[in-house]
A and B are shown apart, each in its own frame.
Chain A
Amino acid sequence: MIPVAPVVELRGVGRTFAAGDVSVPALAGASLSVGKGEYVAVVGPSGSGKSTMLNLIGLLDRPTEGTYLFEGIDTSDLDEGQRAGLRSRRIGFVFQSFHLLAHRTVIENVMLSTIYNGMPRLERVPAAEQALIRVGLAQRMDFLPTKLSGGERQRVAIARALVTRPALLLADEPTGNLDSATGGAVLGLFDELRADGLTLMVVTHDAQVSTHADRAIHLRDGLIEAVA
């Protein structure tokens, strides 16, 4: 049997920001591997490099050192257009502040991610409906996001990330703007998605999140401190 490549593989990845003459290493020498179907939490205090790592893994940023393989593809060989293409087809994002378009309905927000990945027009509405049913918002499809609660908005964002059937779901502080009850509901949804076989990486400083994950990667001052 041919072994399947891990979804995410970092080999000594670092990211240094140049601020004037001073260079600030936000992440250094990070090596990790996330296999298909894994649920990994990235935890650490603010400024520890969590978001930098997430941006690198999400192909929103390029490492200044090391090699990043996404599904076995060396991403340093890819140009901007190819990286955008990879994002549109293989990576789903969930943000702390949801990033929903206020003037578009729930289903339009979900379909937004289908216009950049070449999904045929006829498949978009069924796919978006399916994703919304999956996150439990079948009754809210034609609402504007402003009419929804915080937990519902985050579930719309999750549906938007799921509609393209990505290989990896990246969540950046998904419960940061939610109270503990609705946050718990979102984490429950992540558990279900993991059970469906989705690969998840969640960046958080919330200890509750890491208890749901298969393992937690602790970051401190840009270094991987421990893998629990």
Chain B
Amino acid sequence: MTDLVVPAGAENVAPAQMSPRDLAAEAVAGIFARPGRTVLTVLGTVLGIGALVATLGVAKTAGNQIVGRFDELAATSVVVTNEQGFFGGPGGDVRAGIPSDADARLLRLNGVNAAGSFGPVEVGAALVRSVPIPDPLAQTEFQMSVYGASPGLLGAVRGELSTGRWFDSGHSDRADRVAILGTGAAQRLNVTRVDQQPVVFVGEEAFVVIGILDEVRRQPELLNAVVIPEGTAREVYGYVSASTVQIDVEIGAATLIAEQAAIALSPNEPTLLQVQKPPEPGDLRRDVEGDVNALFLVLGGVSLLVGAIGIANVTLVSVLERVGEIGLRRALGAARRHVAAQFLMESTAMGLVGGIIGASLGVLLVVVISAARTWTPVLDPVVPLVAPLVGAITGLVAGLYPALRAAALEPVEALRAG
């Protein structure tokens, strides 16, 4: 007889529904049920995301800083050395000498401002002295480097004379007995002015001092040396070739000139010459960013992993603690997916909040570090935007297992346990 009766409310068997808004509200309520624990849980993600954002920011800032400190002096210097050949003195095995017209060859290259070559002059054991006035109290003879140099060297090293003049090609061609003293050498030889044509002796050879080199921006060894024209060195000491060519180039031309200089100087065997060029600023920045990133990204990743484990752990504990609540919700009509979604939402929200706070702290840290170092903080704008997303994904992944555990609970068991 009961088969004849009308079942009441067929619409009542429709699957249970839960609006996304209710789901979000339940997740938020779950998070705020235990604020202290939530704060501690979120802390792991905060540290992880914060470390990642700060790392990326500091790396970018530091990399940018290197460009900011772009060294104009270093960037415009190309040095060619001849370490394999023999320089100075007769009878050597000259394999690839730097030619005597090095200055002229290099100046023909587009981008070269100045070029000058120099090399040590073999003077044997000759000591250097100024006017031979015997003074029993002072040392008057010194062992000093003597360099043969081309006329263009002064410009190439950006040198400045405190007095007198640099020699020119005339001096060199005529092999005039003239010399330039570096400021250190001049002090020791007690030469302070050149208007009375003081003379220094290298061994028994006399040279008229025509200028005192006060300062050089490159090749500072010249400051303690006696510099004579290369023609003079050749005539007096049998100087063969320069060992070093200093080239002053236009900004941005260094790489090109570095390629061309060796060929210009030694077309037959350019590889025998060593060329030193400034590092590319782009390479340098990438290197620094790479170094900083690799190390700290690993640290940040580890922090994030620890944060994820923290979320997973706390969510799992929370699931176990709330078994009764899960049973109740199932009795009230929640489907398994509703329970899973709620716990996933809670862990994702914790990850998101951790990501937002972490990203904020990370940005703040970049600013503070930059301020302390008087750097300009630089941060890829994508980083603080993506960071909370990474946090949320961390929370989502961390919540997967606990959420599945929660959904797998049988309502009868859950109600009994709770």
Contact (Cβ within 8 A) A90 B12: yes
Across the interface, B331 reaches (CB within 8 A) one of A93, A108, A167, namely A93
Report whether A69 and B13 are in contact in the complex, using a CB–CB cutoff of 8 Å. no
How many residues in B have their beta carbons less than 8 Å from beta carbons of A?
A: 42
Stretch of B16-24, B216-224, B255-263, B298-306 on the interface side? B16-24
B19 contact set on A, CB distance < 8 A: 115
Contact residues of A between 41 and 94, Cβ < 8 Å to B: 55, 58, 60-61, 69, 71-73, 78-82, 84-90, 93
Query: Contact check: which of B6, B25, B325 meets A72 at CB < 8 Å?
Result: B6
Q: Is the beta-carbon distance between B330 and A84 smaller than 8 angstroms?
A: yes
Establish whether residues A73 and B332, one from each chain, have CB atoms under 8 Å apart when the complex forms: no
Q: Tell me the complex Cα distance, A87–B330, Å.
A: 9
Nearest chain A CB to B240's CB is how many angstroms away?
93
Which parts of A69-126 form the interface with B (CB within 8 Å)? Answer: 69, 71-73, 78-82, 84-90, 93, 95, 97, 99, 101-104, 108, 112-113, 115-118, 121
The answer to whether A103 touches B12 (Cβ under 8 A) is no
Closest to B333 in A: A88
Closest beta carbon of chain A to B54's beta carbon, Å: 35
Question: Contact between A71 and B329 (Cβ–Cβ < 8 Å)?
Answer: no
Q: Is A189 an interface residue (CB 8 A)?
A: no
Q: Smallest CB-CB separation from B13: which chain A residue? A: A82
User: A73, A104, A117: which contacts B333 (Cβ < 8 A)?
Assistant: A117
Give the docked Cα–Cα distance between A85 and B329 (Å): 12
Q: How far is the CA of A4 from the CA of B202 in the complex (A)?
A: 131
A84 to B339, CA, bound (A): 12
Chain A residue at minimal CB-CB distance from B29: A104
Point out the residues of chain A lying under 8 angstroms from B327, CB to CB: 99
Question: In the docked arrangement, what's the CA distance between A86 and B325, Å?
Answer: 19
Candidates A80, A95, A118; contact of B336 at CB < 8 Å: A80
The stretch from B142-150, B346-354, B410-418 touching chain A is B410-418
Query: Cβ of A9 < 8 Å from any Cβ of B?
Result: yes
Query: B15 in the interface, Cβ–Cβ < 8 Å?
Result: yes
Return the CB mask of B322-338 against A: 1 if under 8 Å, else 0: 00110111111111101
Q: What's the A-B contact tally at a CB cutoff of 8 Å?
A: 129
Bound form: Cα–Cα A60–B411 in Å: 6
Least Cβ–Cβ distance between B14 and chain A, in angstroms: 5
CB distance from A24 to the nearest CB of B (A): 15
Chain A residues with CB under 8 A of B331: 58, 60, 87, 93
A4 is contacted by which of B6, B17, B34, B328 (Cβ under 8 Å)? B6
CB of A84 within 8 A of CB of B5, answer no
Which of B26, B34, B328, B336 is the most central at the interface, judged by chain A CB atoms within 10 Å of its CB?
Answer: B328
Cβ of A137 within 8 Å of any chain B Cβ, yes or no, is: no
A72 touches B33 (CB 8 A): no
A82 touches B14 (CB 8 A): yes
CB pair B12 A89 closer than 8 Å: yes
Q: How far is the CB of B3 from chain A (nearest CB, A)?
A: 9
Q: Judge if A5 is at the interface, Cβ distance under 8 Å.
A: yes
Whether a CB of chain B sits under 8 angstroms from the CB of A6 is yes
Q: Is A20 an interface residue, CB under 8 A from the partner?
A: no
The reply to whether B332 and A116 form a contact with Cβ atoms under 8 Å apart is yes
| Option from A69, A80, A160 in Cβ contact (under 8 Å) with B335 | A80
Give how many A residues have a beta carbon under 8 Å from the other chain's beta carbons: 45
Asked if A82 contacts B15 (CB within 8 A), the reply is yes
Q: A3 contacts which chain B residues (CB < 8 A)?
A: 1, 4-5
B7 at the interface (CB under 8 A from A): yes
B8 sits at the interface (CB 8 A): yes
Q: B374 to nearest A CB, angstroms?
A: 49
**In the complex the two chains form, what is the Cα distance from A108 to B12 in whole Å?**
24
Q: With A72-B2, A73-B10, A97-B324 known to touch, is A112 a contact of B411 (CB < 8 Å)?
A: no
A118–B294 Cα gap in the complex (Å)?
Answer: 52
**Are B415 and A95 neighbours in the complex by a CB distance under 8 Å?**
yes
A115 touches B418 (CB 8 A): no
B2 touches A84 (CB 8 A): no
Residue of B15, B22, B26, B331 ringed by the most chain A CB atoms within 10 A: B331
Q: How far is the CA of A85 from the CA of B4 in the complex (A)?
A: 25
By the criterion CB–CB under 8 Å, are B9 and A112 in contact? no
How far apart are A101's CB and chain B's nearest CB, in angstroms?
Answer: 6
Chain B contacts of A87 at CB under 8 A? 16, 331-333
A160 surroundings in chain B (CB, below 8 A)? 332
In the complex, whether A2 has a CB less than 8 A from a CB of chain B is: yes
Chain B's closest residue to A6 (CB) is B2
Please report the C-alpha to C-alpha distance between residue A4 and residue B336 in the assembled complex, in whole angstroms: 32
Distance, CA A58 to CA B331, complexed state (A): 8
Do A60 and B16 contact each other (CB < 8 Å), given the known contacts A71-B8, A101-B325, A115-B22? no
Complex: chain B residue closest to A115, CB-CB: B22
Instruction: Give the CA-CA distance A78 to B338 in the complex, in Å.
Output: 18
Contact of A115 among B26, B33, B328 (CB under 8 A): B26
A99 contacts B336, C-beta separation under 8 Å: no
Question: Given A69-B7, A87-B16, A116-B332, 11 more contacts at CB 8 Å?
Answer: A5-B8, A6-B5, A69-B2, A73-B7, A84-B16, A103-B33, A112-B328, A116-B329, A116-B338, A121-B21, A160-B332
**9 tightest Cβ-Cβ pairs between the two chains A and B:** A88-B333, A72-B7, A81-B15, A116-B333, A103-B33, A5-B5, A115-B22, A84-B16, A71-B8
Can you list 16 pairs linking A and B with CB atoms under 8 Å apart? A5-B8, A71-B8, A73-B7, A73-B10, A82-B14, A84-B333, A84-B335, A85-B14, A85-B16, A85-B17, A101-B33, A101-B328, A115-B19, A115-B25, A116-B338, A117-B16
